[in-house]
Every structure is written in C-alpha cells, then in structure tokens.
Structure 1
C-alpha cells in the first residue's frame, strides 16, 4: 500500500505504507510541515506509529504535520 502525502512546505510525495512505522519513516525523510521548533520536533518523534497507518495519517493531518493524504 502507498500513500500520497500533501504538505504545504514540501509539496506532494508518495511513500510506502506497509506499516505505520514505515509511513512515519517516509514522512520523516521527505518532510512534514511545521517541524522547525524543538517542541514540534518532539511531538513528531512521539507520533502514534503503533496504531496503524490510517490512524497515524489522520493524526498527522489533525496536528498540522501534513495537509492531507490519499491511500492506494
């Protein structure tokens, strides 16, 4: 499964989403929005990557790390 991630700062990219951990790693590599302060970086590092891919992606949208996503 893949996810197309939409961000304000880094544009659109596609990542592998077999697991939430892989999705988190992909988003970390390609960029997430509003992660410039230490507090936001810590919040991103503590993202819930143990509850499934869709939960992580929904959480990332709700918390302003990505704008939106589409799963394939």
Structure 2
C-alpha cells in the first residue's frame, strides 16, 4: 500500500507555493520532473512519493515555500 500526496495547482503567483509535511519538506529529493498539462515535480519522501506542483519553488536545500494544499490517495 502506498500513499501519494498530490499538491494542487496554485491559484496565486508563481512565487506563492507549498508546505507538504512542513518538517518533512527538507527531506524531499526531487528525482524526476514530469511535464504534463500541469508541470509536476515528483519527489520521494522515505517510501512515499510526492507530486509537487510546478508552482512549488525549491531552493538548493529543497525547501518548499508556501503550499496550496494536497490530497492523499491510498493505493493498494
């Protein structure tokens, strides 16, 4: 069973974006970028995969700024 966190598209400016699991954000490592109808960045948090909207701005330390929100989908 895996849990996927999907960050919703931000309705604000490109600079206003994302807190996923606040403390966990620093642990995220972006290993792939997917260009779809939305620009998503796929990050891995431990054994979980997290889809971050392209509006999320990361620093070299992978800090996410403000988050719009996210939903969880449990896959079995």
Report the TM-score when normalising by structure 1. 0.30
- Higher helix proportion (structure 1 or 2): 1
Report the TM-score when normalising by structure 2. 0.29
Q: Which has the larger radius of gyration?
A: 2
Higher relative contact order (CA 8 A, sep 6+): 2
- Higher strand proportion (structure 1 or 2): 2
